[in-house]
Amino acid sequence: MRNILLIIDLQKDFIYGALTVPGATAVLPAINAVKDRFDYVYFTLDWHPVDHCSFREQGGPWPVHCVHHTEGAALDPGVLSSLPEQKTRFILKGCVQAPEEYGAFVGFDPDDQDLFEPGDEVVICGIAAEYCVLESLKNLYAISRRIGFTVKVYLAGTARFESYDTVLSFMTENGISEYRP
């Protein structure tokens, strides 16, 4: 059994930039405290073009954030320290102008992938609980049912705009446990 930490959108624009999520800086030490306990650490990244449909200028609800190849799209530098390159993977999302993709595994083919194996334990955390973490959790749970691995949520490593209610509700409905180091 492999254990995998899946960190959603731990990017500068969400931590202290254009679309700061309250409490995002507090998840950094929580994630850094556990990341070395995992066999693999996967990072998702919002990787938007300059005209992404989610931006207010394009009629979306959000300020411009995580534009590919900008400082705001970069990971917080401390999170990569001490992680060997062979332990890390990067999953890009929101790379085309439309549609909006909160979930990291939209269109993911469980039969043609090398991220997950039967028997894995995948722990998800990151930013923000009500949007990208929730939708990625929904994607991940569906994939886990197909492949045969377990999913847990590390709430201490998850920032939210207002509430964990939607994540907690989904966890309860689907028998998903909280990861407690």
- Catalytic residue IDs: 9, 46, 48, 54, 65, 93, 100, 128, 132
121's CB contacts (< 8 A; 6+ apart) are: 1, 2, 3, 4, 149, 150, 151, 152
Closest of 50, 91, 57 to residue 72, by C-alpha? 50
Tokens standing for 31? 């994630």
Torsion region of 69: left, alpha or beta (phi above 0 gives left; psi -120 to 50 gives alpha): left
